[in-house]
Amino acid sequence: MNTPLVIYLDVPFVTFREFHAREMGRTYPVPPPATVYGMLLSLVGETDVYRHCGVELAIAMLSEAKKSRILRQMRRFKQKDFSHAENVNPSYQEILSNLKCLIWVRSEAEMMQPSLKERIEFTFERPELVRRFGCLFLGESDQLIKTIRLVSEDYREGVRRWLIRDNGGRLTLPYWVDHLGSRNTRFLRYRVEEMNQLSPPDFAWTSIQSSV
C-alpha cells in the first residue's frame, strides 16, 4: 500500500460559507472536503475538476479556530447591472482565525495518471515547472494560505481533532460542488472527534466523487 501524503496548512483568516445558510455570511467551523479538493487542484494548476475523482482526503484540525463577525459589503443581485448600487449591501460575515490543519491525500483509487498525490509531490519538488493561476487560498479568494508544506505522518504539533464521517453527525459538509448550479452538489455528515492517533481512522477518509 502506498503511503499517503501529509500536508500542513496554516491560514490566518478564512471563511467556509455554509451552502444552505439563510444568512449569507455564516461559516462552517472546519474546511469541507470539497473546498480542500479545490485548493489542491489549484496548487497543482489543474482546471478540470473531474480529473482526480477517486482521490481520498482526510482532515485533522490542529487548532480550534476562533470565530468572529465582521461587517463587509456583500453582493446580492437584484438588478441585472453588476455595478448597480442595490446589488451591494453591508452584511455581517463570520470568519475563522488561526486555522491550522493536516490534510492526508491517498490516490490508490484514482484512474488518471499521474495521480493527484504524485502531482502534489512534484509541485513541491519542482515548483518552477508547475503552471498555476493566481494566489493559493482556502475558502474565499481574498483569504490566502500563510504556510503550506509537506510533513511526515508522525508530525506532532497540536492535538488532532479528526473530521469523521458519521450519519448521525451534526456537520453536513459538501464533498463535491456543482459549480453550474446546486442540484448536483453532494454532502456527507460528519462529527469532529479528538483522537490521540497519528494516522487517519478509517472513517476519516472521504472519497471525492462527482455526482454524474
- Domains of the chain, first to last: 5-69+96-207 (3.30.70.2660)
Query: Is a pLDDT exceeding 90 seen at residue 98?
Result: yes
Place of cell 489549484: 42
Count of CB atoms within 10 A of residue 93's CB?
19
Position 107 confidence tier, pLDDT thresholds 50, 70, 90: very high
pLDDT tens string 117-132: 999 999 999 999 999 9
Residue 160: name the closest of 2, 26, 8 by CA.
8
For 9, phi then psi, to 5°, come to -125, 140
Query: Is a pLDDT exceeding 90 seen at residue 196?
Result: no
Region 188-202 average pLDDT:
94
DSSP reduced 3-state for 162? strand
Q: Name every residue whose Cβ is closer than 8 Å to that of residue 128 and which is 6 or more positions away in sequence.
A: none
Say what the pLDDT of residue 20 is: 72
Q: For the chain, what percent of residues have pLDDT higher than 70?
A: 85
Indicate whether this model's pTM tops 0.75.
yes
Residue 114: name the closest of 176, 207, 44 by CA.
44
* Cα separation, 64 vs 60, whole angstroms: 11
